[in-house]
Amino acid sequence: MESRASAFWVRFKANRWAYTFTILATLTVGILVGTIVSSGVKGKEGQKSSDATPLTIPSPQQLSNQFSQISKQLEPSVVNINTESTIKSPQQRRRVRPPQGGQDDQGGGDDDQGGGFQDFFDRFFGGQGGDGGNIRQRSLGSGVIVDAKGYIVTNRHVVEKADRIRVKLQDEPPATPGHDAKVIGMDQETDLAVIKIETDRPLPVAKMGNSDGMEVGDWVLAIGSPFGLQETVTAGIVSAKGRNIVPNRQFQSFIQTDAAINPGNSGGPLVNMAGEVIGINTAILTETSSYAGVGFAMPSNTVAQVYNQLIGPDHRVSRGSVGIEFAAQPNPAIARIYGAGVTVSNVVAGSPAETAGLKIGDTITSVDGKELKSGDELVADIAARKPGSKAKINFVRNGKKQETTVTIADRSKLFASRLGDEEENQGAEEPKPSKTGLTVRAITPDLADRLNIPAGKGVVVQDVKQGSFAEDVGLNRGDVILEVNKQPVNGPDDFTKIESSLKSGQDMVFLVRPRGSRAQDGTIFLAGTLP
């Protein structure tokens, strides 16, 4: 008996489709036969069921068309963004240095693409691997037109480092190559960017809404091009507000939604039931690189603030700062020990806060007489002020009330090392690569302090041109050049002067503090002969 059962299951697995269709066919026949037989059978009392009311199907009608109306209204202003960029393979990005000074030390340190926020989006969008050589990478994203002249809001990670950006409008045929776009400005802190295309007609514009008016549970639509599927609309609700998903990013407080967001949706709008854009879809929380029920959008109020600065003369976002740090999440224990307010956990060396006398353990209670309830309120207040302006800060130290006046500084310069060792200065003239293929910048005071380098000494490598002399000798982005051919390098001008004096066939020796290394790790020599 057991062997018969086994044989049956073997046959079943081998012919499961045949069994499936056979069973369905059998059931269908049974139903038909039952219908035919029963049609001629009388009821229990011997009476026919002539008094039964026939079933009727109503005329088709749309019970709710709000979603479709919003979709028709917004879709023309949502664009598909295609980018092309040349990247180095992982092996090239993390070059192996020759051992120095007899130590078995590979040098190198961190990948030049490191950073929590960038890693977060690398995991979301994925990367293309390779064993060497160039990789031509194509990416897809979305954007929303906010100005009829062709200005489009999208995410920074959609367009950064792109060699070419093309935008396809909703009403254009699929075979249309699209419009070439240029970057107007980008903001690293919020991962937002503004791009522009040139057209001979006014473009349809999306209406911006007030994200502060959204509540948890409100219906929202996400519109974009997931996986390149243009004009895709998904629905969900606001599942949380003020969600901070990336550590140490104070300007990334997201709207959380369960509207399906996938790779390619990034940069597209999150829309309320009034047809207003209340967010820019930015990221998802996932372990599979695809939708898992939790997505994040940058609130429209933040988008508007960033956009208005990026389209300005400087094409960059300027935020104020006094140079202090505090606990990201309020902690009742801290308040009980140090008092209610914002308790300072760190004061940046040389910052306005240090100059004004603020110390670790001070609890800030108000700015210009306005009481503070949270650290977010403090950041929002200070960040909105122009660098160079002044503010009166009231604080408590050891139970005693005190006050001081601080001069607001530019946050991007004050925290340059935290934002990638060199905050991108959008709108300013970028340094050009030298004949060795190097682009260098002056070292910020904070970076010099961390590396234990005297102020005004050395330059930091901002970029290394692929296939250049600098890449051949092993220089990487983030390295600090201290000397060239025994001559001290005390700034970009020194480096340019020394480099311009050298000719083809001459040797060039760099004294370098590798990126990520500490003072005790020492320096290395990198050298070669100029081609």
Catalytic residues: 157, 191, 266
Task: Give CA separation, 92 vs 163, 465, 472, in Å.
Answer: 19, 12, 11
DSSP 123-170: HHH-----SSSEEEEEEEEEEEEEETTTEEEEEHHHHTT-SEEEEE-T
DSSP 283-327: EE--SSSS--S-EEEEEHHHHHHHHHHHTSTT-S---EE-SEE--
Element of type H or E holding 529: strand 524-529
Closest CA to 276 of 347, 211, 207, 375: 207
Q: Which residues, 6+ apart, have CB-to-CB distance to 445 below 8 Å?
A: 349, 350, 455
Closest CA to 212 of 276, 293, 268: 276
Separation between Cα atoms, residue 288 and residue 308, nearest integer Å: 36
Phi, psi for 363 (deg, rounded to 5): -110, 115
Beta bridge partners of 194: 153, 185
DSSP 64-129: --HHHHHHHHHGGGEEEEEEEEEEE-HHHHSPPPPP-TT-------S-TT--HHHHHHHHHH----
Separation between Cα atoms, residue 227 and residue 156, nearest integer Å: 18
Report the greatest alpha carbon distance in the chain.
115
Separation between Cα atoms, residue 322 and residue 502, nearest integer Å: 43
